[in-house]
Structure 1
Amino acid sequence: MDENLTKELSLIDISEFIGLPAQHYRNLFVFLSGIGLSEYIKKRKLYFANKDLLNNESVTNIATKYGYSIDGVTKSFKA
């Protein structure tokens, strides 16, 4: 999943790739991780965005790469 964070990921796409019905995959994911898929994806994007920021990548490039607005990146880091 981490390799595709710069793309739009959906429950349907992931569940089809895994070979499970979407509802089963969602339930299994929440059971194993303790959080929902969208929350997980958001946290992983922020993790990698933080790494990019520490490597002196511009906020504009990071926002574009992970599908955020510049304000969205700033607000997410503040939160």
Structure 2
Amino acid sequence: MNTRVVTAHIPVELADQLDDISARLDRPKGWIVKRALASYVELEARRHAMVLEALTDVDEGRVVSHADIKAWVDGLPE
């Protein structure tokens, strides 16, 4: 697998937390950062896909009116 170095400035508190996790898991910080970044990228890709799906629903008229939502909320038990 080809790799590339990426540099980021992070708050000291976050760096300290990374140090703690690295020590607790007995894993290199790079391994933890790589896993965290991969999880974030996957989550962001899913979020983007859901936004595109929602925009398609809007374009195709699959929406619920504000009045219908308000009526539903008003009908919920307290």
TM-score by length of 1: 0.35
Which one scores higher on RCO, CA 8 angstroms, separation ≥ 6? 1
Which structure has the larger Rg over C-alpha atoms?
2
